[in-house]
A and B are shown apart, each in its own frame.
Chain A
C-alpha cells in the first residue's frame, strides 16, 4: 500500500475512532438521559467477547448466515434465470410481467403472515422471506441489464456467426453483469435486514431471536452487539459483491 493510500485509510478510520471514543465517554459519564440505558462501548465489546466465548453468538450467527445464504442464493439464481428469459424473450416477458408487477411492490416482510400460515414457524419461513426479498430486485435488474445491452452488439455478434445461445452467453450476460451486480449488491444487505425481522417472529435461533431475547431481558449491551453484527454482515456482503463486480467487469468498464 503506498503512502497516500495508507494516509487516506488512516483518515477514514479517524471519524469512526472519534465516534467510538465519544460513545465511551458519554456512556461512562452518564451524560445520556436517564431513561435511555446506554452501555459504554467497552462494555458492549466485553459482552461481545463473552457471547463468542460461550458460543451463543456464533451459534445464532451461523443460523442466520445459513438462512441468508440459502435464501439469497436461491432467490438470486431464480431472479437471474427468469430475468434472462424475460429480458431476452418478449413473449415470456409479456406473459409474466403483469403478475410480477403486482407481486413486486409487496414488501418482503408483508409476506410473513401468509408464509407463517403456509410453512409454520420453522427454517423454511425465514428462507422463504429472504428468497422473496432477493428474487424481485435481482429479476428486474437482470431484465434491465439484458435490455440495456445496445442492439448493435447483438447485431455484430449475429453477423459474426453467433447463434442465439452464443449471443446470450458471450455478449448479453457479460454486458448485463453490471446491472445484475447492482441488484445483488443492494439485496445482499437487505437480506440481512429482513432476516433479523423474520427471526424476531417466534423463531428460536438466529441473530433476530437473540435480539428479541435481549430485548425481553433488557440487555441493551447484547442488543447493540446484535446490531453491530448486523451492520458488519450487511457491509461485508455488499463489499463482497462490489469486489466481485470489479473483478469480473473492472477491466473493461
Chain B
C-alpha cells in the first residue's frame, strides 16, 4: 500500500511538472505575441494609422477624403485601409487591434467598448439615420403585416444598428417579439440582397445603401429611423484611446478631414456618389470572394443608387451626447451590454469643438 502511494506521488509529480513546462512555453508564446502586438502598435503610431470603414455610403466622408488625398494632405499616412461589410465585423477588428481608426456605426462601437473593453473614443459623428425597413409591397403594406403567417424577415446579426432598429420597431409598434424574432433570418446585407433577388425574403432591415438597392428588386421602403427614432445616430468616427493619448494632433486632423469631406459630400452629392461607386466597385471585388455577391456588388452599386441612398442620410459630424446615451441605455435594455455607462465615457468631442 505504501509502495502504491509512493508510486502515485511520483506519478503526480510528473504530471505537475509537465503542466509547469507547458505553462512556461505557453507564457513565452503569449509574451512573444504581446511583443508583436506592441511592435505593431509602435509601428503605426507617429503619423501612420490603420483605418477601417464600413462598406456602405455611411462612410461617404472617408471614401471622398481618401479619393481626394486629404488624409495625405494633413500628413496622415494610412498603413492599412480595410473595408468591412458589417459594423460587427469592424468592431471585432477594432477589438483585435488591427486598426486604430474606424468609421463605424454607433451601436457596434458601443458593443466593442462595453463587451470587448476596447479602449476607444468617439471623436465625431458622420451621419444620422441611414437605415430602413424594406418590404415586398405585395405582401406587406403595414408594419403589423410583419406578423402575418409565412413572412420572412432579413436582418443583420445581433449587435448591429439595424438589429437595434428592428427591436425598436417591435417595441414602438407593439409587435409579438418572440414571433417576429423567430422569423428573422440573420445574414449580412449582401446576402440579404441576394435573398431578396431570389424571392427568399419578404422584408429586410438594411443599412443604406443596401436598403436603396433592395428597391431595385421591387421592394419598397416602409420605414426609416425617423419613424421610430428621430435623430438616431448613424455612424461615428472612433479612434483608439492610445492614439489620442500619444498624438492628439492626429485626432484633430482626422476630425478636420472628416468635417471637410462631410461638407463636400453635402455640397456635391453627385460627385460624391460617383467617387463612392468607383471605390466600392474596387473594394467589392476584394472583399466578396464569392461570385454571387461579386455580381451584386459590381452591377448594382451604381452612382444613381448611391445618390438616391445618400438622400436618406443626414451627413453631419455633429453628435449629441444625449442621443448616444439613449443608444447606450437601449442596448443595455436589450441585454447586449452587461452594464450601461455614461455617454461621456465613450465620447471625446474636444477636437470637434
Contact = CB atoms under 8 A, between A and B. Distances in A.
Indicate whether A and B are direct neighbours in the complex (CB within 8 Å).
yes
Interface of A: 4, 7-8, 11, 14-15, 18-19, 22, 31-37, 120-121, 202, 204, 209, 212-213, 215-220
A125 to B, nearest CB: 12
Smallest CB-CB A-B distances: 4 pairs: A35-B97, A33-B34, A216-B159, A216-B157
A15 B18 CA distance: 10
Contacts of B34: 32-34
B11 interface: yes
B79 interface: no
A213 B158 contact: yes
Contacts of A202: 185-187
A14 B15 contact: yes
Interface string B7-28: 0100110011001000100010
Contacts of A204: 181-182, 184-186
A120 B185 CA distance: 11
B282 interface: no
Given A4-B4, A7-B8, A217-B115, A35 B158 contact: no
A35 to B, nearest CB: 3
Contacts of A32: 30, 34
Contacts of B98: 35
Contacts of A218: 88, 91-92, 95, 111-112, 115-116, 159
A204 B153 CA distance: 12
B68 interface: no
Contacts, number: 85
A37 B117 contact: yes
A102 B72 CA distance: 57
Contact residues of B: prevailing secondary structure? helix
B160 interface: yes
A11 B182 contact: no
B75 interface: no
B33 interface: yes
B330 interface: no
Given A33-B37, A202-B187, A218-B111, A18 B158 contact: no
Given A15-B19, A204-B182, A212-B157, A33 B30 contact: yes
B96 interface: yes
B217 to A, nearest CB: 19
Interface in B148-188: 156-160, 181-182, 184-187
B48 to A, nearest CB: 18
Contacts of B95: 35, 37, 218
Contacts of B92: 215, 218
B71 interface: no
Contacts of A37: 95, 116-118
A212 B8 contact: no
A34 B255 CA distance: 26
B336 interface: yes
B23 A22 contact: yes
Contacts of B181: 204
Nearest to B163: A216
A124 B33 CA distance: 43
Contact of B15 (A4, A11, A120, A220): A11
A18 B159 contact: no
Contacts of B11: 11
Given A31-B30, A34-B97, A35-B95, A217 B185 contact: no
A109 B3 CA distance: 52
Interface in B95-142: 95-98, 111-112, 115-118
